[in-house]
Amino acid sequence: MTVKIFDTPEVQDFLTTVAGFDQEGGNERAKQIMHRLLSDLFKLIDDFDVSEEEYWSAVSLLNALGSQTQFGLLSPGLGFDHFLDMRQDAADAEAQRTGGTPRTIEGPLYVAGAPEAEGFARMDDGKDQDGEAMWLTGQVRDVDGTPIAGAKVEIWHANSKGGYSFFDPTQSEYNLRRTIYTDGEGRYTARSIIPSGYGVPEGAPTDVVLKSLGRHGERPAHIHYFVSAPAHQHLTTQINLAGDP
């Protein structure tokens, strides 16, 4: 189809209507965002001559993503989470907040309420027969290098098979999830097991999307961190384990 209709008055008036601009109620910002989103999608359909078959195939994929709660997996896979981090990095640079540990995406598998400890915690429940012991030690400091006592360090990671507690029914609650408050010198220590890398489920909607782009959904072994303290900026970051591709 060579005819393009996006810029016609009929389409532009239609966009104004479906975005709710002709209605008194609703949220103005939601209307503006929806108008922009719909405009971009309508123009994409026009520019790429998207067929009805392609359109309804995409709708089916979105339904599958929702029913299997996989939007949280697809979001980092398509770079949205990292883009948000890049915006925060730019805001920090503009405000001259520089230095310190780089932020990294949170990922979709955080669970609040992990058991708390002072200075040291054992993270695993001892039931992973393939788990190899791992020690994590660190010191929380401010941008000037001063240790921060009482900082809250939240740590979570996968087991030796790539599964996370609360999402893997074979694991106990809060297995491999702990909150540790740093000691007087800002230090913390955790005993755990070495995590395994993992990938999105084979054939799942997220896997389908990534493979259509010629990409894979595998992740190397890594450990998630939240670090926070009063009067300091919250940090979300990760550690990737060396040697795991």
Lowest mean per-residue pLDDT among 57-61, 98-102, 144-148: 98-102
45 in Cβ contact with 3 (< 8 Å): no
Which carries the bigger pLDDT value, residue 244 or residue 153? 153
Domain residue spans of the chain: 9-50, 74-240
150 in Cβ contact with 183 (< 8 Å): no
Q: Which contiguous run of DSSP H or E holds residue 162?
A: none
| For residue 8, pLDDT beyond 90 | yes
pLDDT tens track for 79-98: 999 999 999 999 999 999 88
Nearest to 176 by CA among 11, 161, 185: 161
Residue 239 is encoded by which pair of tokens?
Answer: 């550690």
Q: If you search the block for the tokens 């998630």, which residue do you land on? A: 224
**What whole-number distance in Å separates Cα of residue 139 and Cα of residue 90?**
26
Name the amino acid, one letter, at 50. Answer: V
pLDDT tens track for 194-230: 999 999 999 999 999 999 999 999 999 999 999 999 9
Nearest to 174 by CA among 196, 152, 155: 155
What is the value of pTM for the model shown?
A: 0.88
- The whole-angstrom distance between residue 238's C-alpha and the CA centroid of its chain comes to 11
Q: What pLDDT score does 244 carry?
A: 79
pLDDT tens track for 109-130: 999 999 999 999 999 999 999 9
pLDDT tens track for 21-75: 999 999 999 999 999 999 999 999 999 999 999 999 999 999 999 999 999 999 9
**What whole-number distance in Å separates Cα of residue 16 and Cα of residue 5?**
15
Q: What pLDDT score does 25 carry?
A: 94
Class of domain 74-240: mainly beta
Residue 208 is encoded by which pair of tokens?
Answer: 């389908």
Q: If you search the block for the tokens 């910002």, which residue do you land on? A: 29
Q: What pLDDT score does 91 carry?
A: 95
Q: What pLDDT score does 3 carry?
A: 87
pLDDT tens track for 176-199: 999 999 999 999 999 999 999 999
**What whole-number distance in Å separates Cα of residue 157 and Cα of residue 165?**
9
47 in Cβ contact with 62 (< 8 Å): no
Q: What pLDDT score does 99 carry?
A: 86
Burial status of residue 50 (CB atoms within 10 A of its CB: 0-12, 13-18, 19 or more) = middle
Q: If you search the block for the tokens 């400091």, which residue do you land on? A: 141
